[in-house]
Amino acid sequence: MPRLVILGRELITPEPYSAGHACTPAEAATLNAALTRGLAKACYREISERGEQADLQACVASYLKGFSQGHERLRAIEAEARRIGRARVEAALYRQGKKLASLAASEISALVAREAEREEVLLEATRRIDALRAVQREGLEELAGGGSVPA
């Protein structure tokens, strides 16, 4: 297993891909390399932001989940959840007669992150992204002349 050192913190990364029915040895090596590079970037970000408080095992688990489910979809959901969270924070401040600009950037980030992690926000973000993808898929199928387009 590859060993990474990121900002002084050591991490052993998994190599779940091997040659077999699903991929060739070269494909397995490429997937493992992509996984390791992605983990290094994700953990670097986590350590940079949180320092010694960084939970590398949680970072690895989250990244592996996304790697298997497709990071593009998960990133889109997370970005949409942040947009929803920001709108909710702005609305709450507005009700108090305040503006987003009245808060420090770190405070805004913390409030938006907290809102974005709420179950109802994540569910709505997922619903929006899945609906958008369905529309995109329908458009592609129409352009393909009614043929099926992979999800």
Is residue 83 domain-shared with residue 60, that is, in the same domain?
A: no
Whether 151 is covered by a domain: the verdict is: no
* Contact predicate 115/85, CB 8 Å: yes
Whether 150 is covered by a domain: the verdict is: no
Is residue 61 domain-shared with residue 80, that is, in the same domain?
A: no
* Contact predicate 2/15, CB 8 Å: yes
The residues, any chain, with a CB within 8 Å of residue 11's CB and separated by 6 or more, are: 3, 4, 5, 39, 43, 56, 60
Q: Which residues in the chain land under pLDDT 70? A: 1, 16-22, 68-71, 144-151
Q: What is the pLDDT of residue 122?
A: 94
Q: What is the pLDDT of residue 19?
A: 63
